[in-house]
Structure 1
Amino acid sequence: MPVRTSVNSQGNGGKGLGPGLAIASAIAFGSSGVAAKPLIEAGLDPLHVVWLRVAGAALVMLPLAVRHRSLLRRRPALLAGFGLLAVAGVQAFYFAAISRIPVGVALLVEYLAPALVLGWVRFVQRRPVARAAAFGVVLAVGGLACVVEVWAGLSFDVLGLLLALGAAGCQVGYFLLSDQGSDSADGAPDPLGVIAYGLLVGAAVLTVVARPWAMDWSVLDHSAAMDGARVPAWLLLAWIVLIATVVAYVTGVISVRRLSPQIAGVVACLEAVIATVLAWVLLGEHLSAPQIAGGAVVLLGAFIAQSSTPARNSGEPVTGGSPERELAARETANPPSRHNRLR
């Protein structure tokens, strides 16, 4: 399935919007664990928390699904793929993995997705990739290994590692599917509509997996402990649904379309750093020196990958994907009078 990146007239203000949205998405996604852990410790099964998260977000986005109901006829495969991979697949594989291997190991394997995206672009699509972008991915993955302290409690479980790789593969699907059909001149699907239907599909799949009818609903009537403080369970759930899911997916999908799957994937590695910092501040889970150093390396890798695109009119590989950079590459190969679009 080819990845298409559009070129729109966004002016100078759009240049920094893509990275900003990607960082906002990483912050939103990274906050999910801090809010979910107190609910799990209060008695909810992890899969039940995932189901509440996705089902609640699907309910919030339902009006948008109704508004974009033509997508069911126009892009059924995209909607099914996004729901199965980007929503249900990532969540289900990840939680299944952490039941067999350490959380840090599972998280590191899952966030190999940016490297896998880069490999997809280079070897499957046969598109050139700048060396600096590849170096940025290597730095980010190496720094992530320090953030999650992969050396702590590592045990080799073949099935657990395969499940974590499944989560990574589904996350690759998230980045690639988020970039699908992004050229509005071709009647591309609205990203909000794709997210809405993806959440609906994901909720339906997770209903079968999580079996919410067996959930202890009374947990939501009480409060949960967050580093000694008592927080209403419903407030934590509202944060998970509205911020860590709805806002996270919306900003994430739009950032992929403004950047590119491979660069947005590298920036998404910041999620692990953000999650660790939030756990330090809100849950009292302190960072070690290697984790702090690893977080700095992740930031450096994301910055290098984001800034690794060539100057205007250069003949070097384009990997950043922002409108101005893609337009520069297009003008190099074709006269300016032609329609500015990359497929």
Structure 2
Amino acid sequence: MPVRMSVSSRNNRARAVALSLALGSALAFGGSGVAAKPLIEAGLDPLHVVWLRVTGAALVMLPLAVRHRSLLRRRPALLAGFGLLGVAGVQAFYFASISRIPVGVALLVEYLAPALVLGWVRFVQRRPVTRAAALGVVLAVGGLACVVEVWSGLGFDALGLLLALAAACCQVGYFVLSDQGTDSADDAPDPLGVIAYGLLVGAVVLTVVARPWGMDWSVLAGSAGMNGTDVPAWLLLVWIVLIATVLAYATGVVSVRRLSPQVAGVVACLEAVIATVLAWVLLGEHLSAPQIAGGAVVLLGAFIAQSSAPAKPGDGRPVTGGSPERELSARGTAT
């Protein structure tokens, strides 16, 4: 009995750490818009901000790419997929969509990703999912509709909606690819190496899309206004690169591996809530009552999804917190 209690306690602590990483990732990603908006208002094109973000992060992670260069031989498809989908695809399709449809609508469509992840797990991987995970997704998506006030801009643009849906599919790729290799500990690719090469691939792709040679570089030497306060533009860029990209991707990928794509996907919905709250505090963009209520519903959905108990190996119960193989490995390590 003491051994079982010890194993359970360690598993609970590990899950708490994983959830903390997922929340940290949502917080880091959520702060990107607050730092990017002043740069855009100062004169930078949105795609140029994205290019600076990804390319700067790729340069920071370059030493890790060199250190894990064996991944180029072992997992070339994984690196290419993560870079194309999880980095370049999400960014490019999202910014393309908001050029045609309201930002709130684009965000809501993009954050259909957790529901699509559940569909991937259920129908492609043929693994069952719990009712709690499904309910959490439904609540999270409904809450997001209130957070982004989707009713304020319901203009139908078929191409814009398709681009936003493409961003959602790329986000599914981010969660699924982040989880690759975790069932085989001996051959599991290092997450930091995957992120480093993903950012490098994303930087190359976005260079073609954003065409940074036409960027107004002088903006970075000046300042940008943040709710009446002048902030050095370079400082905002440093925040976007180090916190909203490097730290966000690192904590995000590790949390997916320790939780599961479907649970991490629901927790990631908090990014939109965090972005809205930060915009309220730092940019003076006030929240309405429906937005506050929607944020509470998103929190409830994330809590329900993550609180369902993971399946025991071989008991046939739905999987939500990790694969049976990962649970067995964790128990073996703990004992």
What TM-score bracket applies, with the shorter chain setting the length? over 0.9
Give 1:315 deviation, angstroms: 4.8
Question: Would you say 1:317 and 2:318 are equivalent positions?
Answer: yes
Give 1:10 deviation, angstroms: 6.4
| Superposed CA offset, 1:261-283 (max 9, x none) | 00000000000000000000000
2-structure distance, mates of 1:115, 1:105: 16
Aligned to 2:104: 104
Aligned to 1:290: 290
CA 51–310 in structure 1, closer or farther in 2 if over 3 Å, else same: closer
Letter of the structure 2 residue corresponding to residue 111 of structure 1: Y
Question: Would you say 1:204 and 2:204 are equivalent positions?
Answer: yes
2-structure distance, mates of 1:126, 1:215: 47
1-structure distance, mates of 2:122, 2:316: 17
Give 1:138 deviation, angstroms: 0.2
| Superposed CA offset, 1:249-271 (max 9, x none) | 00000000000000000000000
Q: CA RMSD in A?
A: 2.2
2-structure distance, mates of 1:303, 1:327: 24
- Structure 2: tracts of 5 or more residues without a match: 1-8
TM alignment of 1:8-47, pairs within 5 A: 12-47=12-47
| Superposed CA offset, 1:191-236 (max 9, x none) | 0000000000000000000000000000000000000000000000
Letter of the structure 1 residue corresponding to residue 320 of structure 2: T
SS class of match (1:320):
coil
SS class of match (1:61):
helix
1-structure distance, mates of 2:37, 2:324: 39
SS class of match (1:146):
helix
Aligned to 1:6: none
CA 274–322 in structure 1, closer or farther in 2 if over 3 Å, else same: farther
Aligned to 2:4: none
Number of residue pairs matched by the alignment: 325
Is the Cα–Cα contact under 8 Å of residues 106 and 161 in structure 1 kept in the other structure? Answer: yes
Is the Cα–Cα contact under 8 Å of residues 258 and 322 in structure 1 kept in the other structure? Answer: no
Give 1:46 deviation, angstroms: 0.2
- Structure 1: tracts of 5 or more residues without a match: 1-8
Question: Would you say 1:308 and 2:308 are equivalent positions?
Answer: yes
2-structure distance, mates of 1:258, 1:310: 12
2-structure distance, mates of 1:118, 1:125: 10
2-structure distance, mates of 1:122, 1:288: 37
CA 311–166 in structure 1, closer or farther in 2 if over 3 Å, else same: closer
Q: Which moved more, 1:68-77 or 1:312-321?
A: 312-321
Question: Would you say 1:86 and 2:97 are equivalent positions?
Answer: no
Letter of the structure 1 residue corresponding to residue 82 of structure 2: F
Give 1:76 deviation, angstroms: 0.4
Aligned to 1:3: none
TM alignment of 1:242-281, pairs within 5 A: 242-281=242-281
Q: Which moved more, 1:146-155 or 1:305-314?
A: 305-314
Aligned to 2:5: none
Identity rate, percent: 84
Q: Which moved more, 1:303-312 or 1:146-155?
A: 303-312
1-structure distance, mates of 2:327, 2:137: 20
Letter of the structure 2 residue corresponding to residue 206 of structure 1: L
| Superposed CA offset, 1:167-194 (max 9, x none) | 0000000000000012463321100000
Letter of the structure 2 residue corresponding to residue 33 of structure 1: G
Aligned to 2:328: 327
Aligned to 1:5: none
Is the Cα–Cα contact under 8 Å of residues 44 and 216 in structure 1 kept in the other structure? Answer: yes
Is the Cα–Cα contact under 8 Å of residues 35 and 237 in structure 1 kept in the other structure? Answer: yes
Give 1:14 deviation, angstroms: 1.4
1-structure distance, mates of 2:16, 2:50: 32
| Superposed CA offset, 1:108-127 (max 9, x none) | 00000000000111111111
Q: TM-score, normalised by structure 1?
A: 0.91
